[in-house]
Amino acid sequence: MSSHTGSKRKPTVAIKDDVYEKAKTKAAEKGLTLVDYVNETILQSVEKDAFLKSYAPYIEKISTGDTIILRDNKIKKIVEVYLKEGRMYCTNDEGHDCIHIHFALGLPEVGRLKKK
């Protein structure tokens, strides 16, 4: 086991080429440096994750891809959320406005849902 405790070295992380290009463009749009933009984005993602856990502690993300699969431990069911005619749709509530959709919209993976 190795530990960097006590080291004065600042942490660095590698950014993949395609991510770098997207992040650089977005940072420029917002008038931020890449470092500030990346740090703010990571922090927001961590905070959002914590928020979702307190907002709906009984909902768990199972998987994301073309659709978002959630487990609702309150109703003890697997729920699927996906884009239907350009709107978020929940298979459990058969509608466009419920806790599952609110939860799904809070996930960063929502941006990867297939637009039909």
Binding site for Zn ion (CB under 5 A): 90, 92-93, 98, 100
**Angle in degrees, 0-180, between the axes of helices 34-55 and 17-30, rounded to the nearest 10:** 90
Tokens of 90: 């929940």
User: Based on CB atoms, which residue is closest to Zn ion, 38 or 90?
Assistant: 90
User: Based on CB atoms, which residue is closest to Zn ion, 39 or 95?
Assistant: 95
User: Based on CB atoms, which residue is closest to Zn ion, 40 or 97?
Assistant: 97
Q: What per-residue string of b and e applies to 3-19 under the rule 16 or more CB within 10 Å gives b?
A: eeeeeeeeeeeeeeeee
User: Based on CB atoms, which residue is closest to Zn ion, 74 or 112?
Assistant: 74
Task: Report CA-CA distances (Å) from 106 to 3, 33, 103.
Answer: 34, 25, 5
Phi, psi of 48 (to 5 degrees): -65, -40
Cβ 56 to Zn ion shortest distance, Å = 11
Cβ 100 to Zn ion shortest distance, Å = 3
Cβ 47 to Zn ion shortest distance, Å = 24
Cβ 98 to Zn ion shortest distance, Å = 3
